[in-house]
Amino acid sequence: MFKYFTDYGYVLEAVTGVCFHTFANFYGPGRVGFILQLAYQFTMINCDPHCDDSLKIVGYRRNWFKTSIIWIATAFSGFTLTLLFYWRQDYWIALTHTKVKSSQAENASLGIDISYVYVQCLTTNRVHLYKFSEEKHASETSPLCSVKYHKWVKFFFYQNLKYIWCNDKGTFLPLKGLDRQNTLETLHTKPLTKDSVDYLLALYGSNQINIPLTPIFVKLFRENERQLRDKVKMAETVLVLRDFEKRPRKIPSTDLVPGDVVCIPPYGCELVADMLLISGSCTVNEASLNGESVPQAKSSIAELPTPTTDEDRKIDIRRLSRHVLFSGTRVLQARESPDGHLVKAVVLRTGFLTVKGDLVRAILHPKPLDIHFNLDSFRFLAIMAVIAISGFIYTWVILHQYRFGLGKMIRKSLDILTIVVPPALPSVMTTGLYLAQMRLKKQGIFCINPSAINVAGTLNTVVFDKTGTLTEEHMSVRGVWKSGLSCDPPQLYKMEQVANIPGPLSAVLAACHSLTFDLTTCKIFGDPLDRVIFISTNWSLQESSLEEAASRFTSPIQAVIYNTKIESTSPWQKLGVLRRFPFSPTAQRQSVVVETVGSEGEIVVLSKGAPEAIVRHCDFQTVPKDFENKLSYFARRGHRVLALAWKPICRTTNSESGESGGVWVKIYQFQKREDFECDLRFLGLVVLDNPPKPESEPTISELLNANFRVIMATGDNILTSVSVARQCGIIKATDVVVQVTPSNNIVRTASSSPSSSSPSSSLLTFEVLTTSDDSEKFENSVWIGKILEKLSQSVSHCIGSTVVVTVDSGEDSAGISESLRLVMTGTTWNFIRMHAPHFLSTVVSYGTVFARFLPDDKTSLIVALQTKGGDEDGALRRVGMCGDGANDCGALKAAYIGVALSDCEASVAAPFTARQQNILCVANILKEGRCSLSTAIGSFKYMVLYSFTQFFTVLLLYNIGNTLTDPEYLIIDLFIVAPLCVTYAVSRPWEKLEASTIPLRLMTPSNLASVFLQLFLAVATQIVIFIGVQHQSWWSAFEPTEHSLDSAGSYETTSLFYFSCFQYIFMCVALAKGPPFRDRIYRNRIFLLNVIILVNFTLGLLIFPTKPLSEWAKLLPLYGPNDVGFRKNAFSIAIIAMAFLHFMMAIAVETIIDRKSDDYSRHSVANCSLTRLCRDLRVRPHF
The pLDDT tens digits for 840-867 are 888 888 999 999 898 889 999 999 998 8
What's the distance, CA 341 to chain centroid? 41
CATH superfamily, domain at 462-470+691-895:
HAD superfamily/HAD-like (3.40.50.1000)
* pLDDT, the chain, mean: 77
Q: Which of 55-64, 166-175, 260-269, 371-380 has the highest mean pLDDT?
A: 260-269
Q: Average the pLDDT over each of 28-32, 208-212, 825-829, 1028-1032 and give the range with the smallest value.
A: 28-32
Above 80 in pLDDT, residue 1168? no
pLDDT above 60 (res 546): no
Q: Beta 709-713 vs 847-851: how paired, if at all? A: parallel
Asked if pLDDT for residue 33 goes beyond 70, the answer is no
- What's the pLDDT band for 128 if we cut at 50, 70, 90? very low
E strands, 343-466, where?
A: 344-349, 445-447, 461-464
Which residues make beta-bridge pairs with 464? 712, 882
Per-residue pLDDT for 1113 more than 70? yes
Across the range 702-723, mean pLDDT stands at 92
Most confident of 231-240, 566-575, 795-804, 805-814: 566-575
Model pLDDT, residue 1052: 94
pLDDT > 90: percent of the chain? 30
Cβ 508 vs Cβ 466: under 8 Å: no
Q: What is the mean pLDDT of residues 940-954?
A: 94
The verdict on whether omega for the bond into residue 911 sits within 30 degrees of 0, i.e. cis, is no
Asked if the model's pLDDT at residue 140 lies above 90, the reply is no
Check pLDDT > 70 for residue 599.
no
Residue 28: the pLDDT is: 33
Average pLDDT over residues 503-509: 93
Which H or E run includes 608? strand 602-609
Q: Which of the residue ranges 430-434, 605-609, 744-748, 930-934 would you say has the lowest mean pLDDT? A: 744-748
Domains 234-363 and 476-651+677-686 share a fold: no
Which helix or strand (DSSP H or E) is residue 607 part of?
strand 602-609
Q: Which CATH architecture has domain 476-651+677-686?
A: 3-Layer(aba) Sandwich (3.40)
Angle subtended at Cα 290 by Cα 909 and Cα 473, rounded to the nearest 5 degrees? 105
Q: Are strands 879-883 and 847-851 parallel, antiparallel or unpaired?
A: unpaired
pLDDT tier at 189, thresholds 50, 70, 90: low
Q: Mean pLDDT throughout 107-111?
A: 32
Looking at residues 576-582, what average pLDDT do you find? 85
Output the pLDDT for position 581. 85
Q: pTM for this structure?
A: 0.78
Query: So what's the pLDDT on residue 743?
Result: 66
* Beta carbons of 850 and 891 less than 8 angstroms apart: no
Calculate the alpha carbon distances from 608 to 528, 543, 592, 643, 683 in Å. Answer: 15, 22, 9, 6, 10
Q: What is the mean pLDDT of residues 378-399?
A: 86
Q: Answer whether 451's CB lies under 8 Å from 871's CB.
A: no
Q: What is the pLDDT of residues 414-443, one digit of tens each?
A: 888 888 888 788 888 888 889 999 999 999
pLDDT average, residue stretch 623-644: 90
Asked if residue 1173 has pLDDT above 80, the reply is no
Model confidence at 220, pLDDT cuts 50, 70, 90, reads very low
Domain ranges of the chain: 8-175, 234-363, 371-439+933-1168, 462-470+691-895, 476-651+677-686
Q: What is the pLDDT of residue 135?
A: 37
pLDDT at 954: 93
pLDDT surpassing 80 at residue 170: no
Q: 108 pLDDT exceeds 60?
A: no
Q: Is the pLDDT of residue 113 over 60?
A: no
HSE-CB at 733 with a 13 A cutoff on CA atoms is 4
Q: Which amino acid is at 643?
A: A
| Cβ–Cβ under 8 Å, residues 878 and 896 | yes
CA distances from residue 531 to 396, 514, 515, 552 in whole angstroms, order as listed: 80, 9, 7, 26
- The pLDDT assigned to 1140 comes to 96
The pLDDT value recorded for residue 1061 is 96
**Is the CATH number 2.70.150.10 carried by domain 234-363?**
yes
The segment with the largest mean pLDDT, out of 14-28, 342-356, 933-947, 1030-1044, is 933-947
The per-residue pLDDT for 247 is: 84
Q: How confident is the model at residue 32 (pLDDT cuts 50, 70, 90)?
A: very low
User: Nearest CA to 285 among 298, 300, 304, 299?
Assistant: 298
Q: Rounded to an integer, what distance in angstroms lies between the CA atom of residue 457 and that of residue 996? A: 11
pLDDT digits (tens, 9 = 90+) for 738-757: 898 886 643 333 333 333 33
In angstroms, the CA 714 to CA 465 distance is 5
Distance CA 699, CA 705 (A): 10
Interatomic CA distance for residues 890 and 1027, integer angstroms = 65
**Can you give the pLDDT at residue 618?**
94
Q: How far apart are CA 158 and CA 11, in angstroms?
A: 11
Whether the predicted pLDDT of 47 surpasses 60: no
DSSP string across 552-574: H-SS--SEEEE-TTS-TTSTTSE
pLDDT-derived band at 57 (thresholds 50, 70, 90) equals: low
**Residue 1060: what pLDDT?**
96
Average pLDDT over residues 587-611: 87
771 pLDDT band, cuts 50/70/90, is low
Confidence (pLDDT) at 412? 85
Helix axes 223-231, 355-364, angle to 10 degrees: 180
User: Taking 50 as the threshold, does the pLDDT of residue 949 lie above it?
Assistant: yes
Region 818-828: mean pLDDT is 88
pLDDT class of 40 with cuts at 50, 70, 90: very low
- pLDDT at 1017 exceeding the cut of 90: yes
**pLDDT band at residue 708 under the 50/70/90 scheme:** very high
